[in-house]
Structure 1
Amino acid sequence: MWRPHDKAILSVPDQGEEGAQAAAPFLSARPPFAIDPSWVLVEAGFDPKYEPGIESIFTVANGYVGTRGSLAERASPSSPVTYLAGVFTGTEGGGGIRKLAELPDWTHLRVLVEGVPLSLDTGTTLDHRRILDLQHGLLFRNWRHQDDQGRVTTLTYVRALCFHDRHLLLQSVTITPENYEGNISIESITRRPQPEIHWSSAAEGDPAVILGRTDRGTTIAMTSRSRLRHEKGLEGAGNGPGEACAEQWTWRAQRGAAVRFDRSVVVYSSREVRDPAGAASDHARRASETEPDAHLLRHAQAWEDRWRASEVEVVGDETAQRVLRFAAYHLHSAVNPQDEHVSIGARALTGPTYKGHVFWDTEIYLLPFYTFTDPRAARALLQYRFHTLPAARDRARRWGYGGALYAWESADTGADVTPETVRAPDGRLVQVLTGIQEHHISADIAYAVWQYWQATADEDFFFAAGVDILIETARFWATRGRVEPDGRYHIRTVIGPDEYHESVDDNAYTNVMAQWTLERAADTVDWLRSRHPEVWPVISERLQVMPDEPESWRRTAALLVTGFDPATNLFEQFAGFFDLEDLDLQPYRPMSVPIDVTLGRERTQRAQVVKQADVVALSALLWERFPVAVHEANFRYYEPRTAHGSSLSPALHALVSARLGEADLAAQYFQDASTIDLSHHGSKAAGGVHIATLGGLWQAVVFGMGGIRLREGGLVIDPHLPSNWDRLSFPLQWSGRSISVTIDREPGQVTVDFRSGEPMTVELSHGSIEEITSPHRYVAHRVGAGWGEWQESKR
């Protein structure tokens, strides 16, 4: 009845009538809309050693807050954390670490039968399942418990962090005594976490409001409203603002009579409003005037809207379909399109690893998903980089450079929060050099700005913010290196994406991306001068652009050392890389521990062992810049030398191998990426889901297997489906147009449904180019190794 996912206790119900019947017991009690069993992820049973990873995977979030999928009664070793996006505690620099703020645990509920708490550690667990409804963003839990007296109680929980109202958090539990009558109590407890935040009750107004104040002076307000639905013998009481705020409800339970407890929580901070306590109290009052099920319905509808714009459908591979839904679920949960001062940390709002810090992951791995499915969200993420541009300018100035050098790890202000040291597996303290040397992030952000602008034609953003980022990052690269006696421009002492090799010179990824940034910034100035003379004087004055700057950027770009050898078509990853020990990694595969642990850091640094896609990443980002032969040569050279010591690596290898026509190799890398969170009982996700990997999975499928590439005026489609995929379809937003693409293996067909927008061109690689219009459908069939002409078709 239950099909396991890989070696995990995670599963989904089987499809069809049998699967629907299996799902029915825990999906019928609520909510007020239909749930498709093929969209749910299930943990069957309970094993405490896997709890940290399961809680990450089952997180519910809405981009403003995120609550880990912990059990209401706090089973050990639970980590019941709710994160508040954009609010950090702790210090910057001097060894201090800024970390994402944690809210009081609003999910804590205890159910007592005749005064004895129900617990998974006592009595007998007859059935226990946690169920994540990916389609509607709901966490269910079904628990049948038999105590030592033989009393059987069924508890059904529902949890939601509302998508239609990001300040509203909902939880309910339905309690049914199956075979007894007696006294049942429920305690709703709010405990205060994090000593860095001082919590107290509101001095006036709503006594249910608790206030927190961070060390930076941010005020957080939380308030709750609870209701118990039962006709007889109801008693309720609440205590004061001590260590834990609590409400207790007690009633005389009747055999088989269900009682439902609903709790709604509202959160505000002084980031959004001047009076968080007043805003929370007013919002909670208004929310309580609407039935919880009505809120759930609006929440579900908001989720369905997002899925219509983003769902990737795979026919022929149910595991891939489930993985892509899981990925998109967490991607949607991580972002708040309404807040342009917040970005997404390396584990989103799902866990403590990296403490909510923002890396290059956001721009390179996450942003394309939002750019092509939710442009408002993409814009908000880029606005975070614009608002933190002053910190990047200050960082470059302090290091003696021009322009803007973005922090390798940033938090709320954009200042660098990279730790100075970390503990190595052998216990040694090791200096962290990424914050000092991994400068390619400034080019990565410029790339994201350009891609967003090309894909959306959002000139309002580009004129007001994007141009500033492009020009200031170009100024940084124009001063980061220097022209040396050989007449070439060198960038020394850096770390590329391959973090096994530190303090290297002329890293190919860094230098090519710097070269690209310099060229695009120069092109932008020329375009503004010629095409938008009405706005250029304002921008030029704002950024103090000198007349000769664009040409100087082009000269620097032309002199930049890239490590490319036209005789072999290879980029040398950095100066001297080809002189290192050429180590065969095959005897070490599969790697249960990172290769730098197996070999030791010193030997790894002396070998041609690559942590993650480095030169190969250039093929993922800049495909049109180089001939296919260059991509082919570099993939063949670097792929066997890559140890995939970072979760970021497999997805980019899937993308590039698909573009090279190696669809089954791409499928293998896709599987490797997908199992990072969803295998080994979720243990690798203990510190939070790997959100960049999830964004990379979407890119691997849409840009790799689906073959989507940007071209001026339209899109290129060059599909390469894995052998077990019968059909792939996905929607895209492009420059104000809405389209969907479907690729069928048999009879070898590509279909484009142009739903809305101005005419655009669609090119099939090795096929025809067609200007298409909405609302029409266009179909092309495979002819030999290429594609036939586009034909307009009826819907």
Structure 2
Amino acid sequence: MNQDYITPNEWSIIEDGFDKSRVKSSESLFSLGNGAMGQRANFEETYTGETFQGSYIAGVYYPDKTRVGWWKNGYPEYFAKVLNAPNWIGIRVLVNGEEFDLNTCTKVENYQRELNMKEGWHKRTFTAITPNGIELKVVAKRFLSLVQDELGVINFSVTPLNQSAEISFIPYIDAGITNQDSNWDDKFWEITNVQNDGKQAFVESHTNKTLYHVCTFMESIVLLNGKEVDATAEKSSTDKQSSLKYTHIVEKNQTLSIQKYAGYVTSLNHEKNHLIEAAKKVLEKGTQLGYDRLLQLQQEAWANIWSMSDISIEGDVKAQQGIRFNIFQLNQTYLGKDARLNIGPKGFTGEKYGGSTYWDTEAYCIPFYMATKDQEVARNLLTYRYKHLGKAIENAEKLGFTNRAALYPMVTMNGEESHNEWEITFEEIHRNGAIAFAIYNYHRFTGDYTYIPEMGMEVLVGIARFWQQRATFSTHKNKWVILGVTGPNEYENNVNNNWYTNYMAKWCMEYMLENLQILQHDYPSDYQRILSKTKLRDEELKQMHLVASNMYFPYSEEHDVYLQQDGFLDKEMIRVKDLEPKQRPINQHWSWDRILRSPYIKQADTLQGFYFFEDHFSETELEKHFDFYEPFTVHESSLSPCVHSIQAAKLNRMEQAYDFYLRTSRLDLDDYNKEVEEGCHITSMAGTWMSIVEGFGGMRVKDNQLHFAPKIPTQWNSYSFKVNFRNQILTIQVSKSGVDFKLEGADQFEVFVDGKARTVKAEAVSV
């Protein structure tokens, strides 16, 4: 049974009613971020019930020592952790000297929590009766500024409803925090300075080992009935925390408010010895603008983001809410402003998965950022990998590869592999293919070839060398095979000849060879530079061609499909529909041994290859493989439903496509996998965008032109989206009666709809 407490709404995530059992789930769902920092939606005031406190700073991490039962050669020494950072949202509230805490209130009524996605803020409103009998109305609203991304703002108001009361606000910043997912309970932070300065307070700290220096800061303004009062603060500090206390007698039905300006400055962007000075400048600018102006600027900044990235759906509120939630979280996580950053699977919503970057970025996220931002954002993501090429070569060397072969990490913050499960670290090598595919995908969509001679060719050479060395010649099969791998379906470990991995390896080598020829003819100086730098030789190129052209792919004559891996048909082939519902999800009910022996597929595997390389296969072949594999797929990876939605739409199975879309778009809102309290699935949210644009919209790039094969679910009246294709902004609106296009930029633009050319002029054109 999926959760269903989120109220359907087109532009907001809304929770009505206070339920202690939902607090941690809501902390994930209502999370805030601005690309530079983020936080779970923890309460500002004290809460003694079950909670998962989390604040995060983009790019700040700690190398937590790997914890394993026994060491293996080549194992990563650490697992990179996105750190739980000092907490700046805290505002203790005392009512007649008693701590205000929703966990101990005798009654909580009219509770509503809202995440306004259109304007980028989080708000709670409720009334509560404290143990000492005071009835209070509380309104707490906060946002993380997009225009001043080192700053967050809180407006916290308390109104006594049944009698006057002495209200104390104690805003604080606290560096005494820990990561819930620490391996050895290491001390991640060293606190070096705690100080108060008038209305301001600062805590300086740095990470151990990685030595990121952070100043957490705050300043507060107190208001009575909306007017600022001259408030003298009672200062208090410990070795971990700095706080200021403001106390007022508040008459019945009067409102006491505190506006708290707070956030982080770090050594990523400032001189580490001048962080307090930098923090004071942030506070000065923020307080001069003031809460209302900052909120207005926040609304304008989000309006600008939505003007390009919104997908509008008419006639289906849950579907509309789902896609906007996904788009909102993607933009909260990564805005493309800082090329040093990347997109973490949990973003700023939790600690699970630790590292900043997985193959998810290349396989799922780049299409969203290419189409909804400037192409430079996607290029930055590719540049990120180029800058890590040296580390990828080191990673391969640790595993015994030579000649500058490159194995990109499964999980990384700085290019080093930092995932510590052997079946992932050593065997889930298909991630290398996703990086090469992203280079191809970027060129296909943007038309910008310059990345390849400037940077991408070196990446492609390293990846092709890895695949050539990783393949083994089987005299029995008279083919090249790839042994001992884990494909995208992580419910099969240490298998031989995973079809997706083998196909990726073949394609990567061929793609590198193809581009090398292009460089030789069209970019001769780059070609010579790359040959010199990589020391590529003709004999090596011939060997790559030989391996690629003679790769083995397991195949079933009986079923007329490629097999996911050599031993797939040896399993007990019981379909998912015949499983007892109480056994689902199997990853929470079965042993790992039982899962590995089962035919159940965590996520699209063979079908992932059919998605990437659909032009290599006929629609009949896709249909056969979809019908064979989907019945065994449990979709217990967030990355699975989107691929199936796209392919079901291509096969014109619109009810199935719609069901998969709803699952991917509401994966977290409805908590399909019963784990949302750990954080949201950020990278798969880009797949949700693809399921509409590429699935229902049928958008493809063929021969440098945009093609659409639009379809519409019966549940929808219409839907529309925008894409930035080679600096031409195109709006596509699909309704039951047809397709409309609007063009911004050029005078006219040619697109293809169901294979037929259409000229779109700068005004709306119906086709």
Normalising by structure 2, what TM-score? 0.90
**Amino acid paired to 2:596:** Q
Q: Note the C-alpha offset of 1:7.
A: 4.2
Contact conserved, 1:50 with 1:682, CA < 8 A, in 2? no
2:169 paired with 1:186: yes
For structure 1, which segment, 507-516 or 268-277, has the greater mean C-alpha deviation from structure 2 after superposition? 268-277
Residue of structure 2 in register with 1:91 after alignment:
64
Rounded to whole Å, the distance in 2 between the matches of 1:583 and 1:488 is 31
Residue of structure 1 in register with 2:193 after alignment:
201
Contact conserved, 1:220 with 1:268, CA < 8 A, in 2? yes
Q: Per the alignment, do residues 62 and 232 of structure 1 end up closer, same or farther by CA in structure 2, a change over 3 Å counting?
A: closer
Rounded to whole Å, the distance in 2 between the matches of 1:328 and 1:470 is 31
Residue of structure 1 in register with 2:679 after alignment:
688
Unaligned runs of 5+ in 2: 69-77, 179-186
Q: Note the C-alpha offset of 1:728.
A: 1.7
Q: Per the alignment, do residues 392 and 232 of structure 1 end up closer, same or farther by CA in structure 2, a change over 3 Å counting?
A: closer
Q: Note the C-alpha offset of 1:568.
A: 5.8
Contact conserved, 1:234 with 1:252, CA < 8 A, in 2? no
**Amino acid paired to 2:149:** R
Residue in structure 1 matching 2:568, options 556, 567, 577: 577
Residue of structure 1 in register with 2:549 after alignment:
558
Q: Per the alignment, do residues 188 and 596 of structure 1 end up closer, same or farther by CA in structure 2, a change over 3 Å counting?
A: closer
Q: Per the alignment, do residues 659 and 92 of structure 1 end up closer, same or farther by CA in structure 2, a change over 3 Å counting?
A: farther
Contact conserved, 2:163 with 2:251, CA < 8 A, in 1? yes
Residue in structure 2 matching 1:118, options 89, 95, 100: 100
Residue of structure 2 in register with 1:617 after alignment:
608
Q: Per the alignment, do residues 94 and 176 of structure 1 end up closer, same or farther by CA in structure 2, a change over 3 Å counting?
A: closer
Residue of structure 1 in register with 2:135 after alignment:
152
Residue in structure 2 matching 1:479, options 446, 469, 489: 469
Q: Note the C-alpha offset of 1:329.
A: 0.8
2:167 paired with 1:167: no
2:267 paired with 1:270: yes
**Amino acid paired to 1:433:** E
Rounded to whole Å, the distance in 2 between the matches of 1:517 and 1:176 is 64
Q: Per the alignment, do residues 241 and 682 of structure 1 end up closer, same or farther by CA in structure 2, a change over 3 Å counting?
A: farther
Rounded to whole Å, the distance in 2 between the matches of 1:624 and 1:591 is 40
Rounded to whole Å, the distance in 2 between the matches of 1:232 and 1:596 is 56
**Amino acid paired to 1:298:** L
Normalising by structure 1, what TM-score? 0.87
Contact conserved, 2:203 with 2:241, CA < 8 A, in 1? no
For structure 1, which segment, 119-128 or 677-686, has the greater mean C-alpha deviation from structure 2 after superposition? 677-686
Residue of structure 2 in register with 1:358 after alignment:
357
Rounded to whole Å, the distance in 2 between the matches of 1:55 and 1:390 is 39
1:506-525 pair list within 5 angstroms = 506-525=497-516
For structure 1, which segment, 459-468 or 48-57, has the greater mean C-alpha deviation from structure 2 after superposition? 459-468
Residue of structure 2 in register with 1:255 after alignment:
252
Residue of structure 1 in register with 2:215 after alignment:
221
**Amino acid paired to 1:341:** R
1:26-425 pair list within 5 angstroms = 38-75=10-47, 76-91=49-64, 93=66, 95=68, 96-120=78-102, 121-148=104-131, 150-192=133-175, 193-194=177-178, 195-201=187-193, 208-215=201-208, 216-230=210-224, 234-275=231-272, 276-374=275-373, 375-402=375-402, 403-420=404-421
2:4 paired with 1:8: yes
Unaligned runs of 5+ in 1: 14-37, 421-431, 781-795
Q: Note the C-alpha offset of 1:320.
A: 0.4
Rounded to whole Å, the distance in 1 between the matches of 2:462 and 2:301 is 38
Contact conserved, 1:109 with 1:187, CA < 8 A, in 2? yes
1:735-750 pair list within 5 angstroms = 735-745=726-736, 747=737, 749-750=738-739
**Amino acid paired to 1:312:** I
Q: Note the C-alpha offset of 1:542.
A: 3.8
Contact conserved, 1:404 with 1:475, CA < 8 A, in 2? yes
Rounded to whole Å, the distance in 2 between the matches of 1:718 and 1:240 is 63
Contact conserved, 1:85 with 1:101, CA < 8 A, in 2? no
For structure 1, which segment, 85-94 or 543-552, has the greater mean C-alpha deviation from structure 2 after superposition? 543-552
SS at the partner of 1:79?
Answer: coil
Rounded to whole Å, the distance in 1 between the matches of 2:671 and 2:4 is 5
Residue in structure 2 matching 1:753, options 709, 725, 742: 742
Residue of structure 1 in register with 2:75 after alignment:
none
Contact conserved, 1:349 with 1:356, CA < 8 A, in 2? no
Q: Per the alignment, do residues 779 and 478 of structure 1 end up closer, same or farther by CA in structure 2, a change over 3 Å counting?
A: farther
Q: Per the alignment, do residues 112 and 376 of structure 1 end up closer, same or farther by CA in structure 2, a change over 3 Å counting?
A: farther
**Amino acid paired to 1:56:** S
Residue of structure 2 in register with 1:31 after alignment:
none
Q: Higher RCO, 1 or 2 (CA under 8 Å, sep at least 6)? A: 2
Q: Per the alignment, do residues 502 and 147 of structure 1 end up closer, same or farther by CA in structure 2, a change over 3 Å counting?
A: closer
Give the fraction of aligned pairs with identical amino acids, expressed as a percent: 24
Contact conserved, 1:454 with 1:735, CA < 8 A, in 2? no
Contact conserved, 2:498 with 2:564, CA < 8 A, in 1? yes
Rounded to whole Å, the distance in 1 between the matches of 2:564 and 2:640 is 16
CA RMSD of aligned residues (A): 2.6
SS at the partner of 2:547?
Answer: helix
- Give CA-to-partner distance per residue, 1:435-486, whole Å, 9 cap, x none: 1100000001111122122212344544433333222212211221133324
Q: Per the alignment, do residues 204 and 469 of structure 1 end up closer, same or farther by CA in structure 2, a change over 3 Å counting?
A: farther
Q: Note the C-alpha offset of 1:262.
A: 1.0
Q: Note the C-alpha offset of 1:378.
A: 2.7
For these two proteins, the number of residue pairs brought into alignment is 737
Rounded to whole Å, the distance in 2 between the matches of 1:774 and 1:199 is 60
SS at the partner of 1:433?
Answer: helix
Q: Per the alignment, do residues 234 and 272 of structure 1 end up closer, same or farther by CA in structure 2, a change over 3 Å counting?
A: closer
Q: Note the C-alpha offset of 1:778.
A: 3.5
Rounded to whole Å, the distance in 2 between the matches of 1:597 and 1:309 is 39
Q: Per the alignment, do residues 301 and 722 of structure 1 end up closer, same or farther by CA in structure 2, a change over 3 Å counting?
A: same
Rounded to whole Å, the distance in 2 between the matches of 1:646 and 1:349 is 19
Q: Note the C-alpha offset of 1:673.
A: 2.6
Rounded to whole Å, the distance in 1 between the matches of 2:250 and 2:587 is 60
